[in-house]
Chain A
Amino acid sequence: MMRDDELDNILANDEEILPSSGFSESVMAAIRREHEALPAIPFPWKRAIPGFAALTVGLAALVIGIVMYAMGAGADAEVSGIAVWKDAAQSALSGQMGWIVLAAILSLASVKLSARIASGRR
């Protein structure tokens, strides 16, 4: 018959193991690797935000142009699907061409600059 204090005794008197001989060295090697590791390169938000903004403006201009054209072409039910998209793109481009080109150039320049900074730091 096992009493509760006997169960208590069994659980309390657990076997004790000794650390292996190389444990301490292994831990310190890991600590040193941790200590010597280069810190993560932070994302260059200040330089990336103008590019993101330009890209957003360009996309918005394109979408607005397409929507405006679609609203105008909705009255003409005989316009085919492909023709609508073709005309919409042409309208968007002709009306917003300059801004879209500027936005694309700014985006590309921002990405190039960010890549150069990131590779330059390495």
Chain B
Amino acid sequence: MSASQDEADVERVLAGDLSAFEQIVNRWQGPLINLAYRFCRDRGRAEEMAQEAFLRAYRALGRWRKDSAFSTWLFAVATNCYRSELRRIPAQAISLDEVAEPKDTRALDGRFEAVDRDRRIRSAVLSLPARYRDPLVLFYFHDKDVTATAESLNLPVGTVKARLFRGREILRSKLQLLLAIPNLEEA
């Protein structure tokens, strides 16, 4: 199982066996890079950020207290790293003002190329204030697990829920205006 493998590899690294950390990298490189990609929408930068996250995890490995799963701790380290990096150099988000308007003025029913539309909607999340952007990114990354999101952000669950609600409201209202979709309502 991954959890027991993580613990065994951590023990080996702390005992001085660097090659064990490579096992951790191989196991978690996909999720960390994809989480970084969701924050920055740039493949190259995502890998740089993920590399920095692994470095920070290596330095802090002795501080993992094992009261939570290694994956939880690792995602928290990575989230902090990505948020710091984005404060330093913000992501090149597509402003909600730049979301494509229909080229064909007759097609105002919102029928854009679906893939392009979806990509722009996901990118539009990055233009939200960080306090709403971060919970939204992590919530969908963690398969809509609020608890995992709260642990990654080191925030209470109630705070995360409130920010998710507010973040979706802001996103919905702006998309509604810009995509000229009349009724973007609660399901």
Contact = CB atoms under 8 A, between A and B. Distances in A.
Contact of A30 (B51, B119, B187): B51
**Size class of the contact patch on chain A:** 20 to 34
Nearest to B33: A19
B119 to A, nearest CB: 8
Interface stretch (B23-31, B67-75, B85-93): B23-31
B186 A4 contact: yes
A23 interface: yes
Interface in B28-60: 29-30, 33-34, 37-38, 43, 46-47, 50-51, 54-55, 58-59
A7 B185 contact: no
Nearest to B117: A10
Contacts of A14: 34, 38, 122, 140-141
Interface of B: 18, 21-22, 25-26, 29-30, 33-34, 37-38, 43, 46-47, 50-51, 54-55, 58-59, 110, 118-119, 121-122, 125, 136, 140-141, 143-144, 168, 171-172, 175, 179, 181-187
Nearest to B22: A28
Given A19-B29, A30-B51, 10 more contacts: A1-B181, A10-B122, A12-B140, A17-B33, A19-B50, A23-B33, A24-B25, A24-B26, A24-B29, A34-B55
Contacts, number: 91
Contacts of A31: 18, 21, 54-55, 58
A18 interface: yes
B51 A26 contact: yes
Contacts of B37: 17
Interface of A: 1-5, 7-8, 10-12, 14-20, 23-24, 26-28, 30-32, 34-35
